[in-house]
Chain A
Amino acid sequence: MASALINVPAKAKRGDIIEIKTLMSHIMESGYRHKASGEAVPRDIITGFTCRFNGAEIFRADLFPAIAANPFFSFFTTATESGKFEFEWIGDKGFSETASASITVE
């Protein structure tokens, strides 16, 4: 089963710019590979990633087969208040995974 690695600082000062890193385990089959028998391997990628903070979207990505296996993202946000980051990955074949991480802002 797929699993996510999330890196969010546990604490931050109000107004700090913090980095968020996420890694989702997924093959990201491009759909452009062939088996030795010649038949194409069907595409199986993650097509979308969303990060929400206390319900509001702060980062979103549309993904294409050119994203490497086990998609990794690093992005930034400003720490304004304590709360919960929620992460969501969706993809081909009904793929859907979520994860969350909390932050305390002082």
Chain B
Amino acid sequence: MHPPPNSTRRQFLGLAGAAAVLGTAPVVTLRPAEATPEMLASAIRNVTGGVAVKTGKVKLDVPPLVENGNTVPLTVSVAHPMAPEDHVSSIHVFNEKNPQPNIANFHLGPHAGRAQVSTRVRLTDSQKVVAIAKLSDGSFWSASVDVVVTLAACTEEVI
């Protein structure tokens, strides 16, 4: 009377999922031209080890509109004291759409005085930039900024 339960559909979906996983594996080894939000998430997981990241404390200064993605000033500051028993131990910066999700990892110590780092980065497209700070107590805090880039960086042809 009724068609058999969903077992065949489940099997099919399982196979399709496996195929999708197999299908993406070579793409990763070939280094895609663009990172994906999944790669961003996995890069963040590599740093946090799965610990929940709270929003706040971190301030990410990057211009919201960038004319030249080849050199974008970026400053990360963390509103947290730098005392030997309680300090910011590292700051990690990620992007969403560059070929690689990582931008830089900065390792600070209790003698850093102030949890603030500036550098200049490349952005290949309009995208989200994420900064994550790790405190000495093992907690993670983050901030993100959406940046619009008019002239893309780093994947153009060499003339």
- Given the known inter-chain contacts A75-B116, A76-B112, A76-B114, please indicate yes or no for A61 contacting B121, CB distance below 8 A: no
CB neighbours (8 Å) of B123 from chain A are 66
Contact with A along B48-74 (1 / 0, CB 8 A): 000000000000000000000011100
A95 within 8 A of B: no
Closest CB of chain A to B99's CB: distance in Å? 5
- Tell me which residues across on chain B come within 8 A of A32, comparing CB atoms: 31, 33, 99, 154-155
Chain B residues 70-90 with CB under 8 Å of chain A are 70-72, 75, 82
Would you call B158 and A66 a contact (CB within 8 A)? no
- Collect the chain A residues with CB atoms within 8 Å of residue B122's CB: 30, 65-68
| Nearest CB in chain A: distance from B65 CB, A | 17
B135 contacts the other chain (CB 8 A): no
| A71 within 8 A of partner (CB) | yes
Q: Check if B154 sits within 8 Å of A65, measured CB to CB.
A: yes
Q: Is B139 an interface residue (CB 8 A)?
A: no
A61 lies within 8 A of B112 (CB): no
- Best-surrounded residue of A36, A57, A58, A80 (most CB of chain B within 10 A): A58
Asked if B71 contacts A64 (CB within 8 A), the reply is no
Which size class do B's interface residues fall under?
35 or more
Contact call B71/A69, Cβ cutoff below 8 A: yes
Q: Which residue of A lies closest to B105 (CB)?
A: A62
Q: Which of B31, B103, B109, B157 contacts A64 (CB 8 A)?
A: B103
- Residues of B near A60 (CB, < 8 A) are 106-107
Which one, B70, B82, B107, B157, contacts A61 given CB within 8 A? B107
Please tell me if the beta carbons of A66 and B118 are within 8 angstroms of each other in the complex: no
Question: Are A76 and B113 closer than 8 Å at their CB atoms?
Answer: yes
Task: Tell which of A41, A59, A66 touches B98, judged by Cβ atoms closer than 8 Å.
Answer: A66
Separation in Å of the B63 CB from the closest CB of chain A?
13
Residue from A18, A30, A35, A74 in contact with B157 in the complex, judged by beta carbons closer than 8 Å: A35
Determine whether the beta carbon of A67 is less than 8 Å from that of B154.
no
Write out, one digit per residue, whether chain A residues 38-73 have a CB within 8 A of any chain B CB (1) or not (0). Answer: 000100000000000100111111111111110111
When chains A and B are docked, how far (Å) is the Cα of A38 from the Cα of B72?
Answer: 27
Besides the contacts A32-B99, A74-B117, A75-B112, what 18 more A-B pairs have beta carbons closer than 8 Å?
A17-B113, A35-B157, A59-B109, A61-B106, A61-B107, A62-B104, A66-B98, A67-B104, A68-B72, A68-B121, A68-B153, A69-B70, A71-B120, A73-B119, A75-B106, A76-B112, A77-B113, A78-B112
Which A residues are closer than 8 A to B by beta carbons?
A: 17-18, 30, 32-36, 41, 53, 56-69, 71-78, 80
